[in-house]
Amino acid sequence: MPDWLLYRGTRAPHDGIERLPPPPPWRSFDGGPTLDIPPAGPAGRHQATTYRPSDDAVQQVNAALYLRRPLLVTGPPGTGKSTLAYAVAHELGLGSVLHWPITSRVTLRDGLYQYDPLTRLYAAGREGTADRREGSANGREEAPSDDIGRYIRLGPLGTALLPYARPRVLLIDEIDKSDIDLPNDLLTIFEKGEYEIPELARRAEPTAEVMTADGSAAERVTVTGGTVRCGAFPLVVMTSNGEREFPPAFLRRCITVRLSQPADRAELAAIVREHLGDLADRSDDLIGQFFERAKEGTLATDQLLNAVYLCRYADAADRRDLADRITPYLASGPDDD
């Protein structure tokens, strides 16, 4: 295996990220003070430890890491586009994946941070009343405290751009479902590696302790001057089902990889074995049936996993018929992805 590969797709955790060289001069960021990556949680662990990446996916992930560029992952449903992010984070020890699911209503601000002014206003009123009562009892008037950081929580994108010592993994899921302006809005953030929180920038107090997408209200990070700037640029994995085209300026700044469905029965069986162990050895008929049906329309590999698992425990007279009924085509006609 080439020595330049940091992510190898072996699923075994290692410290290969320590060999990541300095970024190109045009992708160097100097945010600080440096933060440690929080430990990984249980989310996505099974998928990460059973995922089988293609050689092309391994190469492109490493290209994105070296060049500090977003990775745009396309392909039909069920090919592991989202799972790739969890697999990289697990193998390279990059902590929990920051997940940002996209809909047509999502804006750039949603990914960066959320500010709750109404709760802050109500809290200030309550604290002001309590402080005035206490001050009157002590013979002096006291002003309420103003901890604005309690009402600001960084989103997945905003958290990923904190100045971590190692790159965080950010999964921007199904970006093709976004509003038409979101890809272009992301370009500025990806190029600068920083963003401003106006509610903090306007304050006379230069620092604030804000919440992140990772932790509870008790776990906060310091933002100075209202600006967040990354140190290690995050590994941004953006998935797309191919429902729209992206502008050339956006594609030019991305590393792209296309995932495909398993090429033969042996590859399908290997995937089932990774997830369900020896159930794969007793499911040759279902695997073969699924492979033949996939030639006529779009099916996802996780549908096969569901069918194999259910047929193991269901007392069905015809297991092949049961498998057919729980694996409907996702699109009619041959899969031209």
Look at residue 236 in the predicted model and tell me its pLDDT: 98
pLDDT class for 332, splitting at 50, 70, 90? low
**Class of domain 16-113+149-258 as given by CATH:** alpha beta
Band (212; pLDDT cuts 50, 70, 90): very high
* pTM for this model (two decimals): 0.88
Residue (of 305, 234, 275) closest to 88 by Cα position: 234
pLDDT at position 334 is: 46
pLDDT tens track for 121-146: 887 777 665 555 555 555 554 444 57
Taking the C-alpha atoms of residue 112 and residue 207, their distance in angstroms, rounded to an integer, is 18
Domain ranges of the chain: 16-113+149-258, 265-325
Mean pLDDT confidence for 176-199: 94
CA dihedral (28, 34, 35, 37) in degrees, to 10, reads 40
User: 206 vs 107, which has greater pLDDT?
Assistant: 107
pLDDT for 144: 45
- State the residue for tokens 């509870």: 216
3-state secondary structure 118-182: HHHHHHHHHHHHHHHHHHHHHCCCCCCCCCHHHHEEECHHHHHCCCECCCCEEEEECHHHCCCCH
Q: Mean pLDDT across the chain, nearest whole number? A: 89
What pLDDT, on a 0 to 100 scale, did the predictor assign at position 109? 96
Report pLDDT digits (tens) over 236-265. Answer: 999 998 888 999 999 999 999 999 988 889
How many Å is the maximal CA-CA distance in the chain?
Answer: 85
As a whole number of angstroms, the distance between CA 187 and CA 260 comes to 27
